[in-house]
Amino acid sequence: MTPAPHPYDALLLFSFGGPEGPDDVVPFLENVTRGRGIPKERLKEVGQHYFLFGGVSPINDQNRALLDALRKDFAEHGLDLPVYWGNRNWAPYLTDTLREMVADGRRRILVLATSAYASYSGCRQYRENLADALATLEAEGLEVPRVDKLRHYFNHPGFVQPMVDGVVASLAELPEDVRDHAHLAFTTHSIPTASADTSGPVEGHGDGGAYVRQHLEVARLVADAVRERTGVEHPWQLVY
């Protein structure tokens, strides 16, 4: 008889991280670009984008809101699964969070990365950071937990549906004489062509290029759903 599988005893929300104030901006960018030899003056120049918003990245509050929502949802459904938060490039740092989880007795951890799409920086680097953090725990003599990362969620209905709702609502605000002829532009973060060509396989495909292909897939899903809701087929394009 096959033994029952051990249940997960914690969920780790794993994200990119971001500065929480002006003094954090350059140190944060140093973390992001570590090992690439980028001059500090260049980092200060890039940091001006953050200074326009008070040196605060919105990703941290977004993650806090997501943590609250997950914990509330789990409690409402009677799911006793504690939720932790760790980042790649800013506090709370991944390794520190994993130490906390081990100290709390967590030994089988499910990981939800906030990056929805495949690419080196959006997937493989997260896996590398996880491996490095676990290696650090082992070197410190701590018990290393089992860690399993959830799949990319770019085409999950819970991710797609809010975008469909947003597009339909926006179309409804347009004047009637232009509404049915409106074009849809799906915009996303650009990455180097070489990186996009080697961003890893998609299920059913052995080659690279997953980043672009996954964005095209979710754009198609949204456009198709909008057509079903409105009865109008809008031309669309993926742009950067």
Global confidence as pTM: 0.88
Ranges 60-64, 72-76, 95-99, 196-200: which has the least confidence: 196-200
Burial class of residue 169 in the structure, from the number of CB atoms within 10 Å of its CB (0-12 exposed, 13-18 middle, 19+ buried)? exposed
- Strand ranges of the sheet holding 83-87, from the earlier edge strand across to the other edge: 83-87, 10-15, 108-113, 146-149
- Give the pLDDT confidence score for residue 191 in this predicted structure: 80
* Mean pLDDT computed over 214-233: 97
| pLDDT per residue as tens digits for the range 104-149 | 999 999 999 999 999 888 889 999 999 999 999 999 999 999 999 9
Take residue 49 and report the two structure tokens written for it.
């984008």
| CA 153 and chain centroid, separation | 9
CA-based nearest residue to 99, from 59, 131, 145, 163: 145
Q: Can you tell me whether residue 236 is helix, strand or coil?
A: strand
From 3.40.50.1400, 3.90.105.20, 3.90.79.10, 1.10.3370.10, which CATH number describes the 157-239 domain? 3.40.50.1400
10-18+57-149 belongs to which CATH class? alpha beta
Ranges 7-11, 42-46, 162-166, 167-171: which has the least confidence: 42-46
* Residue 118 DSSP label: -
Q: Within 13 A of 130's CA, how many CA atoms are on the CB side?
A: 20
The answer to whether residue 206 scores a pLDDT higher than 60 is no
Residue 105 and residue 66 in contact, taking contact as beta carbons nearer than 8 Å: no
**For residues 119 and 188, what is the distance between their CA atoms, to the nearest angstrom?**
13
Q: Which residue intervals of the chain bear CATH 3.40.50.1400?
A: 10-18+57-149, 157-239
Residues in the chain: 240
Question: Mind giving me the DSSP string for 45-80?
Answer: HHHHHHHTTTTB-THHHHHHHHHHHHHHHHHHTT--
